Amino acid sequence: MASYLIRRLLIGIPVLLGVTVINFFIINLAPGSPADLYLSPTATPEDVARTEAELGLNQPIFVQYVRWLTQLLHGDLGVSFQNREPVAQLIGDRIGPTLLLMGTSLVVAYLIAIPIGIFAARRKNTAADYSVVGASFLGISVPHFFLGLAVIYLFALQFGWFPTGGMLTLGRGGGFVDRVEHLVLPVTVLATAIAANMVRYVRSSMIDAFGQDYIRTARAKGLGGFTITNKHALRNALIPVVTVIGVDLSALIGGAIVTEQIFQWPGIGLLTIQSIGSRDYSVLMGINLIAAIAVFAANLLTDVAYAVVDPRVAYA
C-alpha cells in the first residue's frame, strides 16, 4: 500500500507539470500583447517594445514559461494586468465565499441524497422509487442558470422570501441570519445537481448491498430492517459514494461559476467572469492553475481512497 501511494504521488509530478504547461499555453493563445494592457491606447510601438522587454515578453516562450514556473514555485502567481494587485491576494480574498458556497452545498446535498437514496433503494421499483429516480433525472438535466433564474423569480421576486443575490445586505451588518438568507438560494441551485447525481449512486449501491450475501445472512439471523440498513448495508454502500466527490469537484467548480454569476456571489467564479470581461489573463491563469491543482488533488485522493477501500487496486 505504501509503495502504491508513493508511486501514485510520483506519477503526479509529470501530470502537475503538464497542467502548468497547458495552463501557460492557453493564456499565450490570447491575441495581442499583455503589454497593451499596461499602456494607454496612444502608446507608440517603441513604448510597447520597451514594456515588453521590461516584462520579459520578448524572450522565447520557453524562457518565459520557465521564469513563470520558477516564480510559481516561490508562491508567486504574478500580478493582475488590470489593477496590479498580486493574483494570489485576489484569489485569497475570493476563495472564502466560494468554499462557503461549495462546502454548504455539498453538505446539504449529502444530507438530502443519502436518506432519499436509501429510501428509494428500500422501495425499489415502487411508485416512490420511480418518483425519486425521475426527480434525480430532472435535477441532473436542469442547467444551473435556468434553475437559478427560476428560484430567483419565485422565491425572491414573487414571494420575497430571500434576497436576489449578494452575500450580505449592506448596512444591515451582515448578521448570521442575514448571511444564511443569502446562502439559501445559491445553495439550492448548486446542491440540486450534486444531490440529483448522488441519489442515483446511493440508490444503486444500496440496491447492490441489499443483494449481497452478508445482508441476506443478517436477515436470516433475524435482524430488523433498520439494523440491516444502518449497520451492514450502509457502511459498504457509502464507500463508492464517498469516492465520487473527487470526480465531481470539476463539475462543482463549473456549477459554482454560473451560480456565482447569477447570484452575484463574490467568489472565485465571479472573479473569473469579471477577469474574462476585462481580459485579465494573469488572473485567469492563476485561477485556472489553482482550480486544476484542486481537481488534481481530489482525483488523487479518490484513487487513494479506492485503493484503501479495495486493496486489489494497489496491485493492479
Partner 1 sequence: MTITKPSEEQAAPSTPDEQREPLLRVRNLKRYYPIRKGVIARTVGHVRAVDDVSFDVYPGETLGIVGESGCGKSTTGRAIVRLETPTAGSVIFDGTDIAELSTARMRRLRTDLQMVFQDPYSSLNPQIRIGDLLAEPLIAHHRLDRSGAHAKAAEMLKIVGLPAAYLNRYPHELSGGQRQRVGIARALMLEPKLIVCDEPVSALDVSIQAQVLNLLKDLQGEFGLTYVFISHGLGAIKYISDRIVVMYLGKVMETATTAEIFARPRHPYTEILLDAYPEPNPHLRDRERIIVEGDVPDPAKPPPGCVFHTRCPYAQEICKTDVPPLTTGVHQVACHFPLAIEKLATEKAVS
Partner 2 sequence: MTVTVKSDTPVETPDSVTAALGRERSSAGLVVKRFLRHRMAVAGLVIVVLMVLIAICAPLLAPHDPNRIFDSFEAAPSADHLLGTDAVGRDVLSRLIYGSRVSMSVGVGAVAVYVVIGVLLGLLAGYYGRWVDLVIMRITDVFMSFPYFMVILILVSVLGPSLLTIIAVIGVLAWPMIGRLVRGSVLSIKQSDYVQAAVTLGYSTPRILFRHILPNALSPIIVNATFGVAQAIILESGLSFLGMGVRPPAASWGNMLSEAQSITVLSSQPWIWIPPGLMILFAVLAINFVGDGLRDSMASR
- Give the residues lining the site for partner 2 (CB under 8 A): 11, 14-16, 18-19, 22, 26-27, 29-31, 134, 137-138, 140-146, 149-150, 152-153, 157, 164, 249-251, 253-255, 257-258, 261-262, 272-273, 276, 279, 281, 284, 287-288, 291-296, 299
CA distance 123 to 225: 12
| Nearest in space to 260 (alpha carbons), one of 184, 169, 166, 149 | 166
Q: Between the CA of residue 275 and those of 52, 59, 76, 137, 288, what are the distances in Å? A: 21, 25, 19, 34, 12
Could you give the residue ranges of the DSSP H alpha helices within the chain?
Answer: 2-28, 34-38, 45-55, 61-73, 87-122, 127-141, 144-151, 176-211, 213-220, 225-227, 235-263, 268-277, 281-309
Binding mask 7-46 for partner 1 (x = CB under 8 A): x--x------------------------------------
Where do we find the cell 450502509? Answer: 234
Give min distance, CB of 10 to partner 1, in A.
7
Q: Is residue 3 within the footprint of partner 1 (CB under 8 A)?
A: yes
Where do we find the cell 508562491? Answer: 75
How many C-beta neighbours within 10 Å does residue 292 have?
Answer: 19
- Looking at the Cβ atoms of 7 and 235, the one nearer to partner 1 is 7
CA distance 81 to 312: 49
CB 113 within 8 A of CB 195: yes
Give min distance, CB of 180 to partner 2, in A.
23
Give min distance, CB of 27 to partner 2, in A.
7
How many residues bind partner 1 (CB under 8 A)? The answer is: 4
Residue 10 site contact among partner 1, partner 2, none (CB < 5 to 8 Å, cut-off depends on kind) = partner 1
Residue 138 site contact among partner 2, partner 1, none (CB < 5 to 8 Å, cut-off depends on kind) = partner 2
- Looking at the Cβ atoms of 109 and 292, the one nearer to partner 2 is 292
Give min distance, CB of 293 to partner 1, in A.
23
Name the residues that contact partner 1, by CB under 8 A. Answer: 3, 6-7, 10
